[in-house]
């Protein structure tokens, strides 16, 4: 893409690939599952035009970044350490950090654990929820009832990989379509006993927001790397709960922003976390649900997201 510079940064576990554009205050962009730095392709030029140095990273396990073999290497503390390494390499901060999906969790915890390096945080699609009293894996298992919730399905190494590897392109296309505004809704996140996650997903069609050329970027990357690195993030939810005991119930105090699609099923499940923002993110200056938008908010509705993000950034001291 024009005017985007790529570089490799040395992180705690090895290389971290970043794509950057623009000059000015640093804004670090952290993607979710199953995506890459490319999910911020619409935001990089918009942030650069607004006077910021926009940097989108490949989270460890993705793209050209390091892919440790140990499942425990994908715990939240390790991912926060990668964000710290990027900021230090690019000038030391303090930076603004923004994240989508799992990247929202990484951004939120980077702000929580390192307020000295992250002066503000923007969260997309997944709200911040402080550590609670119960192990997350138990809570996710209880959500399924007679069926199985996708997070539980992802827990066993190799299980989801076996479904994905037979048709990486088809699985990705189905995932992107299923979680879009016109997808099947909550049923996309559950599977019956003995079934596959993709059985309820749309088949043989990309969502309207994702063109063939853009899809090929994702498909080529994941056919090369596989998705184990991304799936390992899910396999650390209980480790995170143990690691973050000292921050139990802790709020994020920095200036913050939340943006999500109104048709994102995750927003409905996490409505309590959004309602708790006055306590959990007292520095919140805006919480926005975009009508007609699903989970992939910064790709489905890039112009609205860019406006909300740059307007918010302009208010920061």
Active site residue 101: yes
Select which of 17, 31, 109, 295 is catalytic: 295
Q: What is d(CA 160, CA 311) in angstroms, rounded to the nearest whole number?
A: 40
Active site residue 82: no
Instruction: Say if residues 32 and 55 touch (Cβ distance below 8 Å).
Output: no
Instruction: Say if residues 227 and 161 touch (Cβ distance below 8 Å).
Output: yes
Q: Is 118 helix (H, G, I), strand (E, B) or coil?
A: strand
* 2, burial (CB in 10 Å: exposed 0-12, middle 13-18, buried 19+): exposed
Q: What is d(CA 77, CA 17) in angstroms, rounded to the nearest whole number?
A: 19
Q: What is d(CA 159, CA 282) in angstroms, rounded to the nearest whole number?
A: 40
Give the strand order in the sheet containing 26-30: 5-10, 15-21, 53-57, 26-30, 95-100, 118-124, 256-261, 284-290
Select which of 58, 82, 101, 240 is catalytic: 101
Q: Which residues are catalytic?
A: 101, 295
């Amino acid at each position: 893409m024009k005017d985007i510079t790529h570089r490799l940064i040395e992180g705690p576990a090895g290389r971290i690939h970043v794509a950057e554009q623009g000059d000015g205050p640093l804004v670090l962009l952290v993607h979710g599952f199953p995506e890459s730095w490319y999910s911020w392709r619409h935001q990089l030029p918009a942030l650069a035009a607004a006077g910021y140095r926009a940097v989108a990273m490949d989270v460890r396990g993705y793209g050209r970044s390091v892919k440790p073999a140990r499942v425990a290497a994908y715990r939240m503390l390790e991912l926060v350490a990668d964000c710290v390494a990027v900021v230090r390499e690019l000038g030391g901060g303090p930076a603004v950090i923004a994240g989508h999906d799992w990247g929202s969790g990484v951004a939120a915890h980077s702000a929580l654990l390192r307020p000295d390096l992250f002066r503000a945080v923007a969260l997309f699609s997944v709200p911040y929820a402080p550590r609670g009293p119960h192990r997350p894996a138990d809570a996710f298992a209880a959500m399924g009832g007679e069926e199985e919730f996708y997070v539980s399905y992802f827990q066993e190494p190799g299980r989801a990989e076996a479904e994905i590897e037979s048709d990486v392109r088809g699985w990705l296309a189905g995932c992107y379509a299923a979680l879009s505004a016109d997808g099947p809704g909550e049923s996309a996140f559950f599977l019956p006993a003995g079934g596959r996650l993709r059985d309820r997903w749309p088949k043989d069609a990309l969502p309207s927001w994702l063109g063939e050329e853009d899809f090929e970027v994702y498909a080529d990357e994941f056919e090369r790397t596989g998705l184990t690195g991304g799936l390992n993030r899910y396999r650390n939810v209980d480790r995170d709960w143990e690691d973050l005991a000292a921050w139990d119930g802790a709020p994020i105090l920095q200036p913050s922003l939340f943006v999500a699609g109104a048709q994102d099923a995750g927003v409905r499940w996490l409505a309590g976390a959004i309602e708790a923002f006055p306590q959990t993110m007292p520095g919140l200056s805006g919480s926005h649900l975009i009508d007609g938008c699903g989970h992939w908010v910064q790709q489905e509705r890039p112009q609205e997201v860019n406006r909300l993000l740059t307007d918010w950034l302009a208010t920061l001291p």
